[in-house]
Chain A
């Protein structure tokens, strides 16, 4: 009986850790709500800019999810931030591209799969360099039709 409980706890813990664990190949996405952040064939650096006063970039872990489920995450968690807008696109990238820039990736799972890119420099021009590199490492994914 005791062993069963322990086993169950261990299995749950393992599942939780594997869900939250970020490896270099982990896929992340940044949902894009503005047409100013992409062109027809690529993500613009603006997709990865944040206000000077902020310190984290919001992304979602999308490893092992189907395309439909990924868009559902955007619909459920991003659209409520601006219900009058729709999701234009998303920028998918591997965690490695972020790690290589000396940035940290911290899953906060609030909501589920939500993750923060942290350890950003303070200077705006340093952040611009990072925005260029993250946009270059990203793959532009467009929904069809635009997601409301």
Chain B
């Protein structure tokens, strides 16, 4: 049996006919299946990694900020409905979206911050009813306001995440 498998094989390249036997072709196909499966499983791990990071951040907030005045400046305890909204929001972001820093503000609302470097920041808070207050600074430009999250993250927010990380 002749097989031209080597370390540099590119499974995405258009397969050329080098006159290899049928056995070898089937071996190549099998190799490609395994390769593609491994890519899929890697993606699954990435999704699960994201999820784990979100949950880790929420748990840390619940542990530290569940009572009044957790910051020494009269902050409200974390709002569990805000966590629910933030979790939904994060799980509805496109997978290619960079991960934000998850935290909490003095109103007890979950905050998400995308930091693309100095003067490139999107900072938002999600309220119990899905109201998003946000401010985005990119260089000398600021955009800010209120959006509502229902099923999909608002286009303005997605646009600002992109701008911050461009």
Contact = CB atoms under 8 A, between A and B. Distances in A.
Interface stretch (B14-22, B39-47, B85-93, B97-105): B97-105
B121 A31 contact: no
Contacts of A78: 72
A103 interface: no
B57 to A, nearest CB: 9
Which residue among A32, A44, A82, A132 has the maximum number of chain B CB atoms within 10 Å of its CB?
A: A132
Interface string B117-145: 01101011100000001110100001011
B79 to A, nearest CB: 12
A31 to B, nearest CB: 7
A50 B103 contact: no
A82 B103 contact: no
A129 interface: yes
B103 to A, nearest CB: 5
Contacts of B123: 45, 128, 131-132
Give chain B's interface residue range (CB within 8 Å of chain A).
35 or more
A125 B101 contact: no
A42 B105 CA distance: 17
A132 B135 contact: yes
Given A34-B70, A34-B71, A132-B137, A51 B76 contact: yes
Nearest to A130: B135
A49 B113 CA distance: 13
Interface string B61-93: 100110001111111100000000000000000
Contacts of B71: 32-34, 36-37
B146 interface: yes
Nearest to A42: B115
A52 interface: yes
Which residue, of B64, B75, B76, B134, has the highest number of chain A Cβ atoms within 10 A? B75
Contacts of A136: 118-119, 121
Given A44-B101, A136-B119, A85 B106 contact: no
B72 A33 contact: yes
A101 to B, nearest CB: 11
Interface of A: 31-37, 39, 42, 44-46, 49-52, 54, 58, 78, 81-82, 85, 123-126, 128-129, 131-133, 136
